[in-house]
Amino acid sequence: MSERSCLCGLVAGFIGLISTVPALGQPVCRPLLAFQEIRFSPMQPPTMERQWTAIVSVDASPCKARSAGYFEIGFLRLKENGLDIEFREEFMWLGFEWAPSAIKVELNLAADEAVERPWFDNVTPCPCRGG
């Protein structure tokens, strides 16, 4: 009886492994993202907000032509009169075969807030060029 359940478990595991092999064998590509310009505006009356702006370059050369997807920018928001908070905002990237593209990213902040250490996270994979 024990041999039989062991054999059934082995067969079920083998079938599960075979069904995942094609997904594991396919190459995963992602666009290359980089911060180009990062600026922080002076306070704007009457709201006294400031704007954090960045230009993000998108090199989608590893991807098939006309690929698109999403990415997140993670922020560590520093606050003079409160707790620092880590959060993410989602943006869309578009890939062009002829040249890298650029995306302008904006984030409004209160007068007592600033951004430290922005980073890229959760970049959507794309079909690989030539694949």
pLDDT tens for residues 71-115? 999 999 999 988 999 999 999 998 776 667 899 999 999 989 999
Q: Is residue 49 part of a domain?
A: yes
Over residues 9-18, the pLDDT tens digits come to 433 443 443 3
**Domain ranges, residue 47:** 29-121
Q: What pLDDT is attached to residue 15?
A: 40
Over residues 18-45, the pLDDT tens digits come to 333 345 556 789 999 999 999 999 988 8
Q: What pLDDT is attached to residue 115?
A: 92
Q: Is residue 86 part of a domain?
A: yes
Q: Domain containing 103 — which CATH number?
A: 2.60.40
Task: Please name which of 96, 54, 102, 50 lies closest in space to residue 74, comparing C-alpha atoms.
Answer: 54
